[in-house]
Structure 1
Amino acid sequence: MAQKMTDMEWREFVSHGTRTGKLSTVRADGSPHVAPIWFLLDGDDLVFNTGKATVKGRNLIRDGRVALCVDDDRPPFDYVVLQGSARISEDLDEVRHWAGRIGARYMGEERGEEFGARNGVPGELLVRVKIDKVLAQKAVAD
């Protein structure tokens, strides 16, 4: 039977290795848009980058509500869903800093600076989501 994760457990789960998140944003017509993202936790914030002109970037500028699902697709199946509201920054120093940290998580420390330079440019956004709600379950199939 599924068990609720503790605060420490869900934070460790979403930060483990290179698990990606599936980010849901709200389209102008109210329908959902889902896209995979690279991300980090920074305290009680979810942090990621995206392009200003992307579907998710445009959605976030218009309506900051988001949900992010991170899951383990291996038995006994665990998942975490985070919900909150996005704050957006175009400050290039911030964008570059976090793009480098996120790149280091997913591509290795040796490539972090490369990803910071690549994604820390005009037209890219730093998105911080204040996590308001957490649904975290482990061992769903047990």
Structure 2
Amino acid sequence: MLPSERREFVRTHRTCVFGHRRRHDGPAMSVVYYVPTDDDELLVSTMAGRGKGRVVQRDGKVGLCVLDERWPFTYLQVYADAVIERDRDFVIDVMMAVGGRMSGQALGDEARPFVEAMADQEDRVVIRCRPYATFASPPRHLQSNDQEEKISHWLSGGVPWDAADPG
């Protein structure tokens, strides 16, 4: 996958597994919707009291495994520096955008008061993720049980987020 294809994959999808380090045990992971920006940031809405928000304040490094919701299942890992945004209007705008991505259509202005109330009640924040690298693992799928000799595997690799395409 070319660097430009990796960025386009992230821009055109909507769900990811959000992962972060934990002090004990393995990494924490949860499936979330995200909103890409024109500046290639990825915005995630969460409650301030949840682990995602607390860890970002402490650590600032996250991983997002961007998921393709179509078969054959594909994914792309994105490594990002993350910060918490608390500006209420920004938080509500992101929540409105997430609602649109979830439903497949933009939320109307009539939904904003409900979203505002939810943001206040749940103490919502936005995690602003700034990608710095990607890691792609090419998918291999069996279409039937007689393809064993056709399966091939190769190594994957990390690429800086802003890398240029070769040639």
Where on the TM-score scale, by shorter chain, does this alignment land: which range? 0.7 to 0.9
Q: Distance in 1 between matches of 2:65 and 2:108?
A: 26
Q: Judge which range, 31-40 or 115-124, deviates more.
A: 115-124
Aligned residues: 135
**TM-score, normalised on structure 1?**
0.79
Equivalent pair of 1:79/1:137 in contact (CA under 8 Å):
yes
Given the alignment, which residue of 55, 61, 69 partners 2:57?
61
List gaps (5 residues or longer) in structure 2: 142-167
The amino acid of 1:134's aligned partner reads T
Q: Does 1:141 align with 2:140?
A: yes
* Deviations 1:102-139 (CA, angstroms, capped at 9, x unpaired): 2111123136844742543262111111100012355x
Alignment of 1:74-93 (within 5 A): 74-75=71-72, 77-93=73-89
Q: Which structure has the larger Rg over C-alpha atoms?
A: 2
Q: Judge which range, 103-112 or 81-90, deviates more.
A: 103-112
Q: Does 1:25 align with 2:17?
A: no
Equivalent pair of 1:68/1:83 in contact (CA under 8 Å):
yes
List gaps (5 residues or longer) in structure 1: none
More strand by share: 1
Q: Which has the higher contact order (CA 8 A, sep 6+)?
A: 1
Alignment of 1:120-139 (within 5 A): 120-121=119-120, 123-137=123-137
The amino acid of 1:120's aligned partner reads A
Equivalent pair of 2:60/2:83 in contact (CA under 8 Å):
yes
Q: Judge which range, 58-67 or 110-119, deviates more.
A: 110-119
**TM-score, normalised on structure 2?**
0.69
Q: 1:23 to 1:111 in 2, by over 3 A?
A: farther
Identify the residue that residue 39 of structure 1 maps to in structure 2.
34
Q: Percent identity?
A: 27
Equivalent pair of 2:17/2:32 in contact (CA under 8 Å):
yes
Q: Distance in 2 between matches of 1:136 and 1:64?
A: 22
Cα RMSD, aligned residues only = 2.5
Equivalent pair of 1:103/1:111 in contact (CA under 8 Å):
no
